[in-house]
């Protein structure tokens, strides 16, 4: 598990740096991006995938901040890494990273509450998470109050591709 987390964080640092290089227009490997100008795509070839991965990196880094066995300087570095990953999510102009971060942070919060014997609060946070998950799902299928924020016509196109 330690190797997996370390490898994930190292890849995260590389893609944070590379994403910011792309955002600044200093791409060392030029390509034609038909969707957004200077939006980081990392090594994924798609800004949505980059955003989703950065959301996961932000969760992992932020979770490691809670580990009291790490030195304060290490925890500070991990916190800054989590913030840097969120900055890259903003640069991608994609909401997937935010959704991943919120979902991951919610799971971490529930587990932390359970580990600290605050079961009723964990259940309340879990209930809020379920309601939020339902609202996000409804938004993905172009229904509910979040539809305008979440639904993209490309989701419908993907559905057509899957059925084909």
Same domain as 101, residue 153: no
Cα gap 12→89, rounded to integer Å: 12
Q: Are 59 and 18 in contact (CB under 8 A)?
A: no
Total structural domains within the chain: 2
Residues 81, 46: one domain?
yes
Residue pair 42/50 in contact by the 8 Å Cβ criterion: yes
Give Cβ neighbours of residue 70 (< 8 Å, ≥ 6 apart).
64, 78
Same domain, 20 and 77: yes
**Domain match, 34 and 90 both:** yes
- pLDDT by residue for the chain (164 residues), tens only, comes to 889 999 999 999 999 999 999 898 888 887 776 666 678 888 888 888 999 999 999 999 999 998 889 999 999 999 999 999 999 999 998 888 999 999 999 999 999 999 999 999 999 999 999 999 999 889 888 888 888 887 777 777 877 888 88
For the whole model, what pTM was predicted?
0.83
Residues 147 and 124 in one domain: yes
Q: Same domain for 8 and 85? A: yes
What is the span of the domain harbouring residue 22? 2-117
């Amino acid at each position: 598990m330690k190797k997996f987390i370390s490898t994930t964080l190292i890849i995260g640092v590389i893609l944070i740096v590379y994403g910011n290089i792309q955002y600044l227009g200093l791409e060392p490997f030029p390509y034609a991006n038909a969707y957004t100008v200077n939006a980081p795509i990392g090594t994924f070839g798609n800004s949505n995938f980059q955003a989703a991965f950065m959301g996961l990196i932000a969760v992992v880094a932020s979770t490691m901040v809670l580990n009291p066995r790490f030195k304060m300087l290490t925890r500070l570095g991990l916190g800054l890494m989590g913030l840097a990953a969120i900055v890259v999510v903003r640069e991608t102009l994609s909401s997937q990273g935010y959704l991943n971060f919120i979902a991951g942070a919610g799971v971490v919060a529930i587990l932390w509450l359970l580990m600290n014997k605050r079961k009723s609060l964990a259940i309340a946070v879990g209930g809020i998470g379920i309601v939020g998950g339902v609202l996000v799902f409804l938004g993905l299928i172009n229904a509910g109050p979040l539809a305008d924020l979440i639904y993209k016509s490309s989701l419908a196109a993907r559905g057509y591709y899957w059925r084909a």
